[in-house]
Structures are given as structure tokens and as C-alpha cells.
């Protein structure tokens, strides 16, 4: 099975009322944990690579690890650039074999976002690659860019049709109240998402795949594990799973998850190191970390995304 784009995945997900998991990958153990769970649950997958991941692990290493995962699993897997911020970065990923790219022009003006996104779409479509655009800004940290609560803004549904028509994007990320990282909602407040905006976007773009960023649940078990074994993560709060299930049953076809992978890995490694202070073989602590990622991803595929059995 060669790498695939997300076109067919999204079509089926939209019709079936479920979503595809887009998991951020940075190294071999993360890729193995995710893809082993997907293989056992027969789930389609998007593996996404940020500019930071590409800098850390190197494009070729990540591509070859993903190619290895395809050989091992025989699953439909789409390789996606997460938060591309320039035409040059998107081009480099397209030329290097990615099947999907995100051009995140959400911090530009509406017109500049359209112009940049259109430029990427033209190059991508000429090369058989699909494009995710973004309208509206999410709070939180991506690489070196921090978006403050004041600068974050919800997507304006009245702009989505024009954006999609003028850019030709294949999917659209919108801002409805999620944010990147582990601190998504104010402590003591009830997490809320603007489902009214999602509904309005769906009404204006019937059948069009919508993407939800910042969609980790910040699983309390792993936060607790980090804190029990020497960490200090006060008031880490994620998106409740029932809200993600609801979004997946609507127009949301792609749900982005990174922080939950980081927490599963870090919590498990902290625990292992605390319990085995004399151990210095990386395989000994990476093995349980990989297993924790696998079980966490299995839970997401079945209980949150509903894409198990859909490969
Ligand atoms: O949206 C951001 C993702 O969590 C990727 O994070 O840029 O630190 O790799 P990163
Ligand atoms: P989280 O930080 O909620 O995992 O979001 C990841 C994401 O949106 C990657 O693009
Ligand atoms: Zn994101």
C-alpha cells in the first residue's frame, strides 16, 4: 500500500460520522506506538510532521520510518505537514514525498491568507498533494510562536465559503475554542467549544471536511503520572472526550493530537526512571513509553474518533 492523500479518508469519515486521527510524530517509538494500535484496530491514519519535528528528526528519517510503518501495517497512511507557514516549507515537503500539507496563514490578513494558501494549493495540486488551510486563530504554543488569548479569535463563518472557493483548499481548520498544548481552559471554568460556529460552517460548506486542532484531552492519568514522578504541571486541562466525539459526528473529519502523545511518553518514562534509578538502557524506558502511546491511541481510535475498522 503506497502513501495516500486524505481525500478518500475524509469522504468516508464525513459520510460515516467519524473522524481520522492526525497524530504528530517525532521519532521511531511514537510512530511505532501509533501505527501498531492502528494496525490492530484497522484504522486509517494521518501522521503529521511539524517544522519542529522535521528539524529535530530530519525529513528523510521521518519519511523512511513512516514507509517502514506502511510495510509493517499495510494501512492507508497519509503524511501531512502540520502548520506549514511558508510556501517554501510546503514545497519542500511536497517535493520530499508528503501527500498532504497544511498552510497556516491564519495570522495573516484575510486577503494575504488567501493569496498564500492559493499559491500552495496550485503547487500541491499539480503534484497530487492535498492542502489544509486555516481560518481563525488558536491560542497556545506552536514551535516558537505563542498566540495569546487576546490574539486568538474564533473563525468567522461568513468568510469560509469565499476562503474555500478562492483558495481551492481540500480541508479547513477552524477555531472554535480549542488551543494547543496542555493548558486549554481556565481552571475552575467549564470547558466549552463553539459548536454553533461549527454548525454554521457545516451549513455553509455542506460535505466539506473540517479540521480541529488543539484536540488533546490532556488525559488526567498521564498528567498525574508526570506530577507523581517529579513533574509540576498545574491545572492542565484538555478538551473533554464527549465534545470531540460530538465534533467527529459533525463535519470534523480530522482531529489533531500531539500533547496526549507527549504526556503518555513523558509520564511513562518519568515513572520508569523513578522506579529503576540505576537503569541506563534507553530501550528499557522507551519500551513502556511506546506501549503507553499504543494503548492511548487505541482508546482514541475506538472511543473518541470512531475510526476503528474503517481502513
Ligand atoms: O500544533 C503544534 C503541534 O503540537 C506541534 O508542536 O511544533 O512543537 O512540534 P511542535
Ligand atoms: P494538542 O496540543 O491539543 O495535542 O494539538 C495538536 C495540534 O493541533 C497539532 O497541530
Ligand atoms: Zn495545530
Q: What is the mean pLDDT of residues 93-102?
A: 98
Question: Among 24, 54, 211, which is best to mutate for testing ligand 2, by the most ligand atoms less than 8 A from CB?
Answer: 24
Q: Is 102 helix (H, G, I), strand (E, B) or coil?
A: strand
Q: What is the mean pLDDT of residues 149-163?
A: 87
**pTM of the full structure:** 0.96
C-alpha cell of 56? 529535530
Based on its alpha-carbon atoms, the radius of gyration of the chain, rounded to whole angstroms, reads 18
Per-chain residues with Cβ under 5 A from ion ligand 3: 213
pLDDT at 142: 59
CA 162 to chain centre: 25
Residue with CA nearest ligand 1 atom 8:
143
Tell me how far apart the alpha carbons of residues 49 and 22 are, in angstroms, rounded to a whole number.
10
pLDDT at 138: 81
Q: Is 212 helix (H, G, I), strand (E, B) or coil?
A: strand
Tell me how far apart the alpha carbons of residues 301 and 12 are, in angstroms, rounded to a whole number.
15
Q: Is 131 exposed, middle or buried (0-12, 13-18, 19+ CB in 10 A)?
A: buried
Tell me how far apart the alpha carbons of residues 153 and 157 are, in angstroms, rounded to a whole number.
12
State the CB neighbour count (10 A cutoff) for residue 66: 21
CA 176 to centroid of ligand 2, rounded, Å: 14
pLDDT at 145: 54
- Give me the sign of the Cα torsion angle 82, 83, 89, 90: positive
Tell me how far apart the alpha carbons of residues 281 and 185 are, in angstroms, rounded to a whole number.
38
CA 218 to centroid of ligand 3, rounded, Å: 15
Of residues 246, 175, 306, 248, the one with CA closest to residue 14: 248
Question: Among 180, 212, 223, 297, which is best to mutate for testing ligand 2, by the most ligand atoms less than 8 A from CB?
Answer: 180
State the CB neighbour count (10 A cutoff) for residue 19: 31
pLDDT surpassing 90 at residue 143: no
Half-sphere exposure of 151 (CA within 13 A, CB side): 11
Label residue 137 by pLDDT band (50, 70, 90): confident
CA 184 to ligand 2: nearest atom = 3
CA 277 to centroid of ligand 3, rounded, Å: 36
Q: Is 248 exposed, middle or buried (0-12, 13-18, 19+ CB in 10 A)?
A: buried
Q: Which of 10-14, 87-91, 133-137, 284-288 shows the lowest per-residue confidence on average (mean pLDDT)?
A: 133-137
Q: Can you say whether residue 133 is alpha, beta or left, with left for phi > 0 and alpha for psi between -120 and 50 degrees?
A: beta
What tens digit of pLDDT does each residue of 234-290 get? 999 999 999 999 999 999 999 999 999 999 999 999 999 999 999 999 999 999 999
What tens digit of pLDDT does each residue of 187-234 get? 999 999 999 999 999 999 999 999 999 999 999 999 999 999 999 999
126 is catalytic: no
Residue 124 makes CB contacts below 8 A (sequence gap 6+) with: 90, 94, 101, 130, 131
Residues recorded for the chain: 311
Q: Is 251 helix (H, G, I), strand (E, B) or coil?
A: coil
Tell me how far apart the alpha carbons of residues 111 and 118 are, in angstroms, rounded to a whole number.
10
Q: Is 165 exposed, middle or buried (0-12, 13-18, 19+ CB in 10 A)?
A: exposed
Average pLDDT, the chain: 96
Amino acid at each position: 500500500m503506497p502513501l495516500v492523500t486524505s481525500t478518500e479518508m475524509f469522504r468516508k469519515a464525513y459520510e460515516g460520522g467519524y473522524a481520522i486521527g492526525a497524530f504528530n510524530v517525532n521519532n521511531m517509538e511514537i510512530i511505532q506506538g501509533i501505527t501498531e494500535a492502528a494496525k490492530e484496530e484497522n484504522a486509517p491514519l494521518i501522521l503529521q510532521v511539524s517544522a519542529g519535528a522535521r528539524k529535530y528528526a530530519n525529513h528523510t528519517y521521518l519519511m523512511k520510518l513512516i514507509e517502514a510503518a506502511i510495510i509493517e501495517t499495510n494501512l492507508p497512511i497519509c503524511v501531512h505537514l502540520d502548520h506549514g507557514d511558508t510556501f517554501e516549507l510546503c514545497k519542500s515537503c511536497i517535493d520530499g514525498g508528503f501527500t498532504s500539507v497544511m498552510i497556516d496563514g491564519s495570522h495573516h490578513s484575510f486577503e494575504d491568507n488567501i493569496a498564500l494558501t492559493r499559491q500552495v494549493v496550485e503547487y500541491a495540486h499539480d503534484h497530487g498533494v492535498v492542502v489544509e488551510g486555516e481560518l481563525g486563530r488558536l491560542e497556545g504554543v506552536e514551535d516558537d510562536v505563542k498566540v495569546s488569548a487576546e490574539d486568538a479569535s474564533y473563525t468567522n463563518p461568513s468568510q469560509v465559503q469565499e476562503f474555500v472557493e478562492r483558495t481551492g483548499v481540500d480541508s479547513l481548520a477552524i477555531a472554535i475554542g480549542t488551543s494547543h498544548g496542555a493548558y486549554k481552559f481556565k481552571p475552575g471554568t467549564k470547558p466549552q467549544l463553539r459548536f454553533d460556529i461549527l454548525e454554521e460552517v457545516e451549513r455553509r460548506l455542506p460535505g466539506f471536511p473540517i479540521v480541529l486542532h488543539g484536540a488533546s484531552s490532556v488525559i488526567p492519568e498521564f498528567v498525574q503520572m508526570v506530577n507523581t514522578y517529579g513533574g509540576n504541571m498545574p491545572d492542565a486541562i484538555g478538551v473533554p472526550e464527549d465534545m470531540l466525539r460530538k465534533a467527529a459526528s459533525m463535519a470534523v473529519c480530522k482531529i489533531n493530537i500531539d500533547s496526549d502523545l507527549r504526556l503518555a511518553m513523558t509520564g511513562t518514562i518519568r515513572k520508569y526512571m523513578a522506579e529503576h534509578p540505576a537503569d541506563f538502557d534507553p530501550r528499557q524506558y522507551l519500551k513502556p513509553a511506546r506501549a503507553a502511546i499504543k494503548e492511548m491511541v487505541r482508546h482514541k481510535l475506538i472511543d473518541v474518533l470512531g475510526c476503528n475498522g474503517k481502513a
